[in-house]
Structure 1
Amino acid sequence: MLEVRDLDVSFGRARRRFKAVDGVSLTVGPDETLGLVGESGSGKTTVARVVVGLVKPDSGDVLFDGKPLGPVGRRPASLQRAVQMVFQDPRSSLNPRMTVSAVIDEAWRTHPESAPTGDRTAGLHQLLDDVGLDATVARHRAGELSGGQCQRVSIARALAVKPRLLVCDEAVSALDVSVQSQILRLLVDLQQRHHLSMLFISHDLGVVHQIADRIAVMRRGVLVEEGVATDVLSDPQHEYTRSLLDAALELTKES
């Protein structure tokens, strides 16, 4: 479904220009979750932003169903709708003054073909129920909600336009551990019910192993290891992957 080929991305100018992503290639198949893992500065978020069209690459191709994905504003509406992002900070990704109802309605106005054909209020309530929120949340402003509730609203906003691929950029890292588990279970459930594919970005292998079918590991802009999640976690081949796994195990022991 998603294919990234030989992706290069650089930032800065002249002598201060640095390569954030260097020749990265990866795929995400139908109903599959690829966990893209790496420490801060590894380039994983840059890859995510290229996929959703927020960053223009220096070179390389990003294809969806074999069709090129250009930057936001240049890709067809159907492809823009098909690939949606859930951001790291659930509070800053929502307008705190907008009600939840207005947040969802904005998504439907942007992509009217995805809006309910009948009663929009009933459609809104069903969408909120899908992400584990009570219908009464619809009239609350985003600034009145908890971090976990805001992330559920962000997920609902993405689902409102009926995407086929969710790009989750550190979608649980800003949440408490107990809320992290709830959101991860929600994403797994939604994937199964809505037949979604996911590109799940995280610095934590301990989180990724709960959700990913395959794992790709990035370091300093380069993809250093990729494979079936169980294989990567049980027998990591790269030293950097082993260090990430050791860190995740250490955090588990401390908690």
Structure 2
Amino acid sequence: MSALLEVNDLRVTFGPRRKPFVAVDGVSVTVGANETVGLVGESGSGKTTVARSIVGLVRPQAGDIRYDGTPLPPGTRRPGELQRAIQMVFQDPRSSLNPRMTVASIIGEAWRTHPAAAPSTDRIGALHQLLADVGLDESVAAQRAGQLSGGQCQRVSLARALAVKPRLLVCDEAVSALDVSVQAQILRLLDDLRRRHHLSMLFISHDLGVVHQIADRIAVMRRGVLVEEGPATEVLSAPRHEYTQALLAAALELNS
């Protein structure tokens, strides 16, 4: 499987140069075409910093990130095509959307930001198709984000990401703020969207119990370091690192 995303020896620090805090220390991970990789670790493990580095919100001190073989410059220096190709879905769907904007305006703003992805004709039809793709009725287009439930907001976030025709979704704790029953719905939706739209996904979570439902491969982070990586079935059935074993035990205890 060819790598769509390559993160090589990534290092990210925060704070003063004389005594920096090392958030990510030499992490390497790949995501293949049409593959979902779960990046797992407890709060503070560095996984969100990896995600923000990939989408250009954090500037690494060392290492490189490549998309389809092309090195990604940090932040706003990326050309529009590369910004569009990698879209992030954030943890809190309510805070990631302007509560005063209608859903139609939210999608329209994405098209204005990336005009190459905007439909040339029948934008209303394209908007309704996007909403249908994420399981929302077309009547939602006229509603303000602040009127929607958490699950509906996350579906709108996914529609906004899909509107610009990405190839890679970076989902940062995308279901952790939702009720358990809604989590299951969004996970099924993500897997369905991946198949229908030929997407790749980096799915970030603290919960192995969630990741096992969606990931092809799993990478485990602890204190800024990657401690284990492999096919999901192997990591979940025979974890090698004691930290992965502890995460799995915690997930099993919660499920029971």
Q: TM-score w.r.t. structure 2 length?
A: 0.98
Query: How far apart, in 2, do the equivalents of 1:70 and 1:154 lie?
Result: 25
Q: Deviations over 1:153-209 (max 9, x none)?
A: 000000000000000000000000000000000000000000000000000000000
* Count of residue pairs brought into register by the alignment: 253
Match of 1:34 in 2: 37
Query: How far apart, in 2, do the equivalents of 1:158 and 1:211 lie?
Result: 19
Picking from 181, 184, 191, the partner of 1:181 is 184
Q: Does 1:130 align with 2:141?
A: no
Describe how 1:92-241 pairs up with structure 2 within 5 A.
92-241=95-244
3-state SS, counterpart of residue 98 of structure 1? coil
How big is the shift at 1:68?
1.1
Q: Does 1:68 align with 2:80?
A: no
Judge which range, 161-170 or 109-118, deviates more. Answer: 109-118
- The code of the aligned residue for 1:67 comes to T
How big is the shift at 1:117?
1.9
Match of 2:251 in 1: 248
- The code of the aligned residue for 1:29 comes to G
CA contact (8 A) 2:172 2:203 kept: yes
Picking from 76, 80, 92, the partner of 1:77 is 80
- The code of the aligned residue for 1:147 comes to G
How big is the shift at 1:107?
0.3
Which stretches of structure 1, 4 residues or longer, exceed 6 Å deviation after superposition? none
CA contact (8 A) 2:228 2:240 kept: yes
Q: Deviations over 1:129-151 (max 9, x none)?
A: 00000000000000010000000
Unaligned runs of 5+ residues in structure 2 are: none
- The code of the aligned residue for 2:25 comes to D
Picking from 49, 52, 56, the partner of 1:53 is 56
Match of 2:46 in 1: 43
Query: How far apart, in 1, do the equivalents of 2:153 and 2:75 lie?
Result: 24
Unaligned runs of 5+ residues in structure 1 are: none
Q: Does 1:3 align with 2:1?
A: no
Q: Deviations over 1:22-80 (max 9, x none)?
A: 00001000000000000000000000000000000001000001111122210111110
Query: How far apart, in 1, do the equivalents of 2:17 and 2:78 lie?
Result: 30
3-state SS, counterpart of residue 108 of structure 1? helix
How big is the shift at 1:15?
4.8
Judge which range, 25-34 or 63-72, deviates more. Answer: 63-72
- The code of the aligned residue for 1:52 comes to V
- Relative to structure 1, the CA distance from residue 72 to residue 14 in structure 2 (aligned partners, 3 Å threshold; closer, same or farther) is closer
RMSD (CA atoms): 0.7
CA contact (8 A) 2:59 2:75 kept: no
